[in-house]
Amino acid sequence: MEVAILGCYAATPTTSHRPTSQVLSIGNHLFLIDCGEGTQTQLRRQKIKFSRIKHIFISHLHGDHFYGLIGLIATFGLLDRKTPLHIYGPKGIKEIITLQLKLSKSWTGFPLYFHELEQKTPEIIFQDDKVSVETIPLDHRVYTNGFLFKEALGDRKLLIDKVDEYQIDVAYYKSIKKGKDVPDNNGNLIANKLLTAPPPPPKSYAFCSDTAFKPELATQLKNTSVLYHEATFLERHKHLCEKTKHTTAKQAATLAKMAAVKKLILGHYSTRYGSIEVFKQEAEQVFPEVLLAEDGKKFKFD
């Protein structure tokens, strides 16, 4: 599991700060999460192959989270993409994109599917045999979802010494990995647990931006491997969080602790602070495993 941060600052793009966008690599997928202005240029800079992006998740319809989407779709079209593209985002996103495609007489040459979200409780919006994605309803000034990406439980690990010892035919290996009990050469049923070890624990990634501090998320986020959570402000500007429905670094860390996640990545920083190190310092008072998102940075989780 790997996440590439394309942009992680709040509000407007500047020469040194890019709005929210990131690419999560999980279960053979590249998922694009949010798509602020300039995302397509950042994808090129990080040499991420456009055609591998088949699913885009948009948290909410504030510009710093989706103004780069129409340009990315148009570029896919110009590059003669044929691969289908799925867009998950708040109701309204389809109208915004299709209106612009219509007025530019530039229909895409690839299938474009919109999955518009309206529900205020978690729902599974994507699932295959490798990974599932569910919404995390957030508390912001407009309808907003975070997204929880979970690897599916993998196959059980075949213990090759044991299958030799019990004289199991190679034809049964696939069934054994799937957890089945299988017969030995004499027709005796051998319990699966004698032949396998449990699969590695599945990893998970939660993206929570933008939102006011929402401690009740701890239940849904329980034991998540990595939580990316917005930390727009520090505690000394907590009053701005209340007004704008954002979170402080300390509040993000509090949620990380409550949910017992393994790692916390902070991002969506206000540019009012000279350095982003202050967010880490504040969060570490509550929760030790804090990482700082930075534009262009990649995190790998083994």
Region binding a copy of itself by CB under 8 A among candidate stretches 13-21, 147-155, 182-190, 245-253: 13-21
Q: Does 37 bind a copy of itself (CB under 8 A)?
A: yes
**Dist. CA 68–CA 224, nearest whole Å:** 29
Show the binding pattern over residues 129-168: x = contacts a copy of itself (CB under 8 A), - = does not.
------------xx--------------------------
Q: Which residues pair with 31 in a beta bridge?
A: 24, 55
Q: Which DSSP state fits 51? A: G
**Dist. CA 134–CA 154, nearest whole Å:** 19
Q: Does 171 bind a copy of itself (CB under 8 A)?
A: no
Sign of the C-alpha dihedral, residues 58, 2, 73, 114?
negative
Min dist. Cβ of residue 174 to a copy of itself (A): 45
Region binding a copy of itself by CB under 8 A among candidate stretches 71-79, 110-118, 150-158, 278-286: 71-79
148, 134 Cβ separation under 8 angstroms: yes
- SS3 of residue 45 by DSSP: helix
State which residue, 13 or 202, has the beta carbon closest to a copy of itself.
13
Region binding a copy of itself by CB under 8 A among candidate stretches 96-104, 126-134, 149-157, 180-188: 96-104
Return the closest-CA partner of residue 294 out of 99, 101, 20. Answer: 20
Neighbours of 108 (CB within 10 A): 17
Neighbours of 277 (CB within 10 A): 10
Region 210-249 residues binding a copy of itself, contact defined as CB under 8 A: none
- Per CB under 8 A, the list member of 27, 32, 56, 68 interacting with a copy of itself is 68
- Per CB under 8 A, the list member of 2, 25, 71, 86 interacting with a copy of itself is 71
- Per CB under 8 A, the list member of 2, 25, 29, 75 interacting with a copy of itself is 75
Region binding a copy of itself by CB under 8 A among candidate stretches 7-15, 247-255, 257-265, 286-294: 7-15
Q: Which residues pair with 266 in a beta bridge?
A: 229, 292
Q: Does 62 bind a copy of itself (CB under 8 A)?
A: yes
64 in active site: yes
- Per CB under 8 A, the list member of 2, 25, 29, 61 interacting with a copy of itself is 61
Return the closest-CA partner of residue 60 out of 81, 88, 27, 22. Answer: 88
Return the closest-CA partner of residue 5 out of 289, 269, 202. Answer: 269
| Residue 210 annotated in ligand binding | yes
Q: Which residues are annotated as a binding site for Zn(2+)?
A: 60, 62, 64-65, 140, 210, 268
